[in-house]
Structures are given as C-alpha cells and as structure tokens.
Amino acid sequence: MVRKHKNIILICIIIFCFFNIYSITFFVSKIEDAALVFSQQESSNTNMIFINRLVKDGKVVKLLREEEELGEIIIDDNLSSDRKEKISFFRTLGLYNIGADVKELNISLYYLGYGTNKNSRIFDKKTKEAVRAFQRDYKLKVDGFAGIHTIGALNQTLKSKKITIPNCEPNVQKVLSNNYWIVINKDANILKLYRGQKLVKKYPVATGKEKNYTPEGKFKIIRKNIDPYWGGGRDKDPIKGGVPQNPLGTRWLGLDFGGGTLYGIHGTNNPRSIGKHVSNGCIRMHNRDVEELFSIVKRNTMVYIGTDKKLNQYIY
C-alpha cells in the first residue's frame, strides 16, 4: 500500500513539473513573440518617420539605409556663379561616375593636398584613394564613396581654410529654348533642367543598360500622365497606375520618339536603381523628382539626350 502511494505521489510530481515547464516555456515564448512584434512595429514606425522626413525636406536626393540624422543639405541656388564656397551635393559619387560635381570633388581634394587630377570629370581609382585618405584623416567611414557626410566634411574643411572652388558646370553654347528645356547625359546619368541659358536644377537618373538602349538626339515631350498604366512585358502582366508595384512610378513624360508611349521620363518603384545603367531605354527618376519636373515642364518641352562627348560637341 505504501509503495502504491509513493508511485502515485511520484506520478503527481512528474505531472506537476511537466505542466510548470510547459507554462514557463509558453510564457517565455509569448514574451519573445511580443518583443519581436514590438521590435518590428518600432522599426516600421521609425522607418516611416525617417522616410516622411526625407520626403518632406525636399532637398534629399536619395533614401539612405542608415537610421541617422542627416543634418541640413544645401543645394546651390546660384549654379551660374564663377566660384563657389562648397561642393553641390545631389548624389553620392563613386567609381566611374562622370560630371561637373566629380570635377568639383577632384579640385577640392587637390587643393587640400590629396593629389587628384584636378582637371578630371571622372571618378577614377585615384579619386577613390584620395576620398579614402580624406575619410581616414577626418575619422569618417572609409568606403571610398563621396556621400553626404564626406561632402559635408569637405565643405567644412574648405570653409575653415577659406578655399573657394571654380564652378565646373559647362556654359551652354546652344540654347534649345528660351523657356524650360532638358539635357540628359547618358554617361553621367544626370538630367539638367534649364530655363534659357540658366541651369535651374540637376537630378540623378537611370538610363539604358546597353549604350544603344536610350535613344540620342533632340526630342519633345508630347505626353504627360499622372499614375501611368504599365502595359507589361514578356512574361509580366500589366499593372494599373497608382500602385507601388508599378515600375513607371507616379509620372510619365512621353517623348515624341516612339509616339509618346514607348520612351519617356518616368518615376520608379526601385529607387536604388537611380544613378545606374539599368533601364530598357527610358529615363528613370525618383518619384519626388519626376513629380517636381512634371509640375514645371509643359508639352513640347525640348529634350536633348546624349553621351558626355556628344553633349560637349552639341550643347556646351
């Protein structure tokens, strides 16, 4: 009888322990789940606030991956002045980028003793090493890219040393219109908006993944569409306008090459593609940029597209 009672007591103890262990495990798992949900919600909310701030500021040209304060980004209003106190920032510069902003970077680094080719408009390996050396000296992230923090540190250094740099924007020799008109540099992946001879603003863009994909020459904008419909392609179904999945983004400025529906300047659902040669021929912009451009230009606005070499021959 005593042995039977001992067995019953042992079974009860085992059952009791089992339920306690299960309860503790269940409780812990629920805490972990709650923490994960909270963490995801917190991360989501943080990103949403961060993105809203970027869009609201209106001066930032790309979304950054890091959760960090951007500080103030100043874009030159007077792009036609002969000399400047700072480099204009509108895109992150890296290896093989081309443009006036690259030349300004090379000149600034040269003046500060970093041995770049001050006459070059190309971000070559020498420029990259100079950028890395500057980043090391000024305790920045050493990655060889001239982003917002590196350009900001360069501008502060130029200011402290009272160094000014020449404005490297080429002067327009052939004005296509006294009103607004557009130049797109396929090599540099830059769109420039002019009004008469005055440069109004520059935007980073994406162009064709092959050299002949984006057409070259003089064109006109003949179509303007808000939330354009995408007709699909190959094995991809059409996508209606106004949805995040639409690769044309929020605006379409159709060129007369192809009847206004084949080639155009448009937004994107892939902002990380901007600045690269990745499209099937169209010119992609950040949605906020194409919306701004859309509000400025009208139908029949002239657009000239070409390589760096051809633009220097025809426009500059």
Contact 296, 281 (CB under 8 A): no
Alpha-carbon span 66 to 275, nearest angstrom: 19
Contact 105, 126 (CB under 8 A): no
Q: What angle do CA 152, 158, 161 make, to 5 degrees?
A: 140
The residues, ordered by sequence, that sit 6+ positions from 55 with a Cβ below 8 Å of its Cβ are: 288
Q: Annotated catalytic sites, by residue?
A: 266, 282
Give CA torsion, residues 123, 286, 182, 145, to 10 deg.
Answer: -10
Give CA torsion, residues 189, 193, 219, 196, to 10 deg.
Answer: -140
Tell me, what DSSP letter sits at residue 171? P
